[in-house]
Amino acid sequence: MREMALRTLAWSIVCVLVMVPSAWAEGSLDEVLARHMEARGGEDAWSAVHNVRATGTYDSFSKKGPFTRLQTQDGKLYMEYHLGNRPVTKAHNGEFAWWVNPMREPGPKKIDGADLPVVERERDFPNALFAADRYETTLVGPAEFEGMEVLQIDIKRADGSEESWYLDPDSFLEVALESPGSDFGRPMVQRTFFDDFRKVGDVMIPHYIESQWYTRLRVQHVDSMELNVDVEPSLFTMPPPPGMEPWVALAGNWKVVVERTPGPGAEPTQSERTSEIELALGDTLLQERYESDGEGVLVSLTFDRFQNVYRRTAIDSGRGLLDVQIGTQQEDGSIILDNLETGTFIMGGPRKVNLRTTYSDLSSEGFVAVVEGSFDGGESWFEASRSTYQRAD
């Protein structure tokens, strides 16, 4: 009886040890993290990986399409994918996240609200567990997740948000993540599943990533994974708002040569001045400030995406008249605006004078602005001034 009881006790101990993953039996968060890093290829191997580019097929809203995902060791992210039939670009430049997402709003926008924590986690390289010492990290131990036996590790980030990582107790590779998600800006718990780990170079990387929340399901099927690819830094730069592409390069300080013609047939005079141009309101507004003949001048340039036109306003401290000009971009890249329809003409003695402004040769190094006048409602024009800009900074 005593021998049988000892055999029963020994078998019970064996069963308990079999049920408890070995690293948890050793009882250390550091040991579990070390096993995970080893399973992923090891810290030394990952330190030699400066970036990873994945390409494949992206499933969303029952539609399949190509996707590209680029992650860098210094925390930058760039993704091209689709939501339904609409293309989306999403990125993080290391300072802030932005996207061009027509499912949310037109044009490039900074990402905030419930969408931001999602992007912050996507830029982890290769995942948050490799940087667990930056966060409040807890080894919960054996658990069950979606019918799977897992090792659970909880992380609390500096912003107070929490997430749970689930590791396979045999391979120590991640199988799932529960973290803050977003359903079109509404906070929602997101579950992410990782599978199809393959060796790429000296590291292991999942080639299947599935995200679930609410009734949403999005899947990344990776066909190709590349390490240490050449990356153009401008890839992570947020594009300018719609229509403002020609103007963003003009921000800065300028030396300007001005040729003035008092009227048709008159001899031009030449002078020099400086000008300061700045972008404002999320790059939706370009403003120029300068002094001319002792008067302060403020010029503003914007784009109306609803009517697909540019607007130029100009006011000086002498007349106090706000001139409003409207125009479009031409095939050669120049932008021509006039005030024929805005009613903001000036008076040249007894005659009404309409104005037209042409911006041409726009580049980061220089451009030309020509102002013309018309005494006959735009039937004919004469050149009033030509300003040639050369960058001073």
pLDDT tens digits, 347-363: 877 889 999 999 999 99
Domain 248-391 CATH superfamily: Calycin beta-barrel core domain (2.40.128.20)
pLDDT tens for each residue of 229-249: 999 999 999 999 989 999 998
Burial of residue 308, with CB atoms counted within 10 A of its CB: 0-12 exposed, 13-18 middle, 19 or more buried? exposed
Tell whether the model's pLDDT for residue 23 goes beyond 70. no
Least confident of 39-43, 65-69, 346-350, 388-392: 346-350
pLDDT tens for each residue of 262-286: 777 778 899 999 999 999 998 999 9
The domain defined by 21-236 folds into: outer membrane lipoprotein receptor (LolB), chain A (2.50.20)
Query: Is the separation of the CB atoms in 287 and 296 below 8 Å?
Result: no
Where do the structural domains in the chain lie, given as residue ranges?
Answer: 21-236, 248-391
3-state secondary structure 157-194: CCCCCEEEEEECCCCCCEEEEEEEEEECCEEEEEEEEE
346-380 CB burial, b ≥16 within 10 A, e <16: eeeeeeeebbbbbbeebeeeebebbbbbbbeeeee
> Hey, what amino acid is at 376?
D
Share of the chain above pLDDT 70, in %: 93
For residue 393, the model assigns a pLDDT of 80
Angle at 175 between CA 135 and CA 200, to 5 degrees: 90
Model confidence at 374, pLDDT cuts 50, 70, 90, reads very high
For residue 293, the model assigns a pLDDT of 82
Model confidence at 27, pLDDT cuts 50, 70, 90, reads low
Query: Is the separation of the CB atoms in 89 and 58 below 8 Å?
Result: no
